[in-house]
Amino acid sequence: MKLGLRAKLIVASIFAIAISALVADTTIRRSLDADLTASVERDLGTRARLVALDLAAHPADAGDRASWDQVADSLAVAAEARVTIIGSAGELLGDSELDVGELGRAEDHSDREEVREALTTGLGAHTRLSSTVRRRMMYVAVPFRSASGVEGVGRVAVPLTQVDAAVARVRSIVYAGAAVALLLAIFMATLGAHWVSRSVRAFTSVARRLSAGDLDARTRAEGADEVAELGRALDRLASSLSKALGELRSERDLLGKVLDGMREGVLLVNHDGKVALANPALREMLLLGADVVGKRPLELIRSAELKALLDRAGQDGEGGASEIEVGELKPRKLLIDAVPLPDIRGILAVFVDVTDVRRLESLRRDFVANVSHELRTPIATVLSAAETLHGGAMGTDAAEEFLEIIERNATRLHRLVEDLLDLSRIESRELKLSLEPVDLGAVIGAVLPLYRERADQKKVVVSVELAAGVRPRADARALETVLSNLIDNAVKYTSVGSRVTIRSVEQDDTVALSVSDTGPGIAPKHLPRLFERFYRADAGRSRELGGTGLGLSIVKNLTEAMGGAAEVESQVGRGATFRVTLPRA
């Protein structure tokens, strides 16, 4: 059974008072009994000596029990006590409470302690339960003498009923006092328990509010006793807890913001091999849902390499890194660094998306290879022509042809270098653009004459269809470069007698400027890569026509630098349309 504070205080009070009453009863009873018994013993000693004097003066015959019995009866009246006369051999000569006829049947009294002590020391006393009268008696014996020596022992006895009664009265007083004290203790314990329990209940209420998350709860205890000190200690604990939880929340929020702001994916696997944490970057990287916690990594990322990496980190306790390729809808290349966390028996894995890095590395390798290839052909041609001239062809009719070859390839090299420099400046943001409203008619008027002669040679008709009053927001020089590359490609790759159309269309807040031709068109498989550097739909024909493979890449980068976009539409046999969309001024 569970006892409350009040019940515990009452039980403790009852127990303490009961123990006190028992100890007091035992102590007082023994002390009082001893004191009263000693007083009775001293009184009986005096009476016994007087009885012994009277017996010493009695000239009775030792064998005359009747005479001795009469003397015992008369002395008992005078002494107000039981008087017993015992012969020197221990026989009973007379007794004030026995008849003469019973004296002969009485047992030998020589073995009585008071008799032996009286014969030895002159005075003997003993307290015991009388076998004759069945009461607790005190016996005091004194020897009486005659001229011939000790004739016997005179013994005086009184029952200790008064002593027992006095002890009983004192015990009743003690128990009555204990009962009164118990009632007072119960009353006081009830009051004290009510006062203490009221404070404790208030403290308990505050503790419950703290456990429920109300860290502003306080006892506001006043006073100097232990209960008030307990309340103040609880308030200090609440303040410390509030401060500690505030710091933990701040650290948690900071950690959460760091994890949410990381571009790298973070995966924490607990000791059970299940996901304990996955930050938003990882979920976005791997197209995971929000319910990833509690699942196994293999359920989320189907990769044997990742499982082997995590297993090795968990079993060997050593970190490791590996690059894996995952994803079906969104293929990615991920660099994973797994580190074991011995403190929590978990594994922390950091995922870095290296897809773009690997793609850029591939582009760099392709770029170097393409540049090398593009440079190798004209350089070899120039070297070959120069060697031929040095070999003796300077004075021949073919010298002019070789010089034209050198000039043509040098021009090609110059254009290639210029295009590379332009593309480099655009991609590195070194090209400073001044965006302002641009007159399309003026720009086209400045670019079109550069290709008029080549168009006339191929009998290509170039027409311009501009919407009235439409002005894009762009850089004039950059727009000239864009149009120059688009018109150059249209005239260069279209067939003889075709048509090239330059038109502008207003679309909401943008201006679409397109260059269309009616040439052979481009196969659909080439369209997604046309704006890549050095990519050619027909590599042989492009080099034959003097193309560097960088024009469309320059168009795309310049257009995007001006806040626009470039795209292409084409069907084989029906020509192609290159379109750049720019913000409207």
How far lies 562's CA from each of 129, 193, 253, 503, in Å? 130, 85, 40, 19
Sheet holding 275-278, edge to edge: 275-278, 265-269, 346-353, 332-341, 320-326
Residue 545 pLDDT: 46
Mean pLDDT, rounded, for 533-546: 53
For strand 461-465 and strand 346-353, is the pairing parallel, antiparallel, or unpaired?
Answer: unpaired
Contact 495/519 with Cβ under 8 angstroms?
yes
Q: How far apart are CA 190 and CA 295, in angstroms?
A: 58
Q: Give the integer Cα–Cα distance in Å for 339 and 320.
A: 7
Answer whether 259's CB lies under 8 Å from 345's CB: no
Q: Is 444 exposed, middle or buried (0-12, 13-18, 19+ CB in 10 A)?
A: buried
Nearest to 510 by CA among 449, 570, 562, 452: 562
Q: Which 3 state secondary structure label does DSSP give 74? A: helix
CA–CA separation, 411 and 414 (whole Å): 5
Residue 184 CA to residue 61 CA, distance in Å, equals 69
Q: What is the pLDDT of residue 457?
A: 85
User: Which H helix or E strand runs over 86?
Assistant: strand 82-87
pLDDT recorded at residue 166: 76
Sign of CA dihedral 493, 496, 498, 504: positive
Q: What is the arithmetic mean of pLDDT over 197-214?
A: 74
Residues carrying CATH 3.30.565.10, the chain: 433-583
Q: Which CATH architecture has domain 358-425?
A: Orthogonal Bundle (1.10)
Q: Are the beta carbons of 227 and 200 closer than 8 angstroms? A: yes
- b/e map 64-92, b = 16+ CB within 10 Å: ebebbbbbbeebbeebebbbbbbbbebbb
Confidence of residue 66 (pLDDT cuts 50, 70, 90): confident
Distance of CA 150 to the CA centre of its chain: 101
Give the model's pLDDT for residue 209.
Answer: 78
| Domain 5-165: assigned CATH number | 3.30.450.20
User: pLDDT tens-digit profile of 369-414?
Assistant: 666 655 666 677 777 777 777 766 666 666 777 777 777 667 666 6
DSSP 3-state of 475: coil
- CA 103 to chain CA mean position, Å: 98
pLDDT at 539: 46
pLDDT score recorded for residue 506: 85
Q: Which residues contact 555 (CB under 8 A, 6 or more apart)?
A: 482, 485, 486, 531, 566, 578, 580
pLDDT band at 132 (very low <50, low <70, confident <90, very high): low
More confident residue, 95 or 214: 95
Query: Is the entire prediction scored with pTM above 0.75?
Result: no
Q: Other C-beta atoms within 10 Å of 377: how many?
A: 13
pLDDT of 534: 66
Fold of 262-350: Beta-Lactamase (3.30.450)
Q: What is the pLDDT of residues 216-275, one digit of tens each?
A: 777 777 777 676 777 778 778 778 887 887 788 787 778 777 777 777 778 888 877 787
What are the tokens at 472?
A: 């894009």
The candidate with the shortest Cα–Cα distance to 512, out of 559, 450, 452, is 559
* Overall average pLDDT of the 35-40 stretch: 80
8 A C-beta contact, residue 271 and residue 346: yes
Q: 34 exposed, middle or buried (CB, 10 Å; 0-12, 13-18, 19+)?
A: exposed
Residue 160's pLDDT is: 78
- CATH 3.30.565.10 matches 433-583: yes
Domain with CATH 3.30.450.20 in the chain: 5-165, 262-350
pLDDT digits 0-9 by tens, 139-175: 888 998 876 777 888 888 888 777 777 777 877 887 7
The pLDDT tens digits of the residues spanning 79-123 come to 888 888 888 788 888 888 888 777 777 777 888 888 888 888 888
CB 462 within 8 A of CB 494: no
Delimiting residues of CATH 1.10.287.130 domain(s) in the chain: 358-425
Cα–Cα distance list, 264 to 190, 334, 336, 354 (Å)? 67, 10, 10, 10
**309-330: per-residue pLDDT in tens?**
777 777 776 777 777 777 666 6
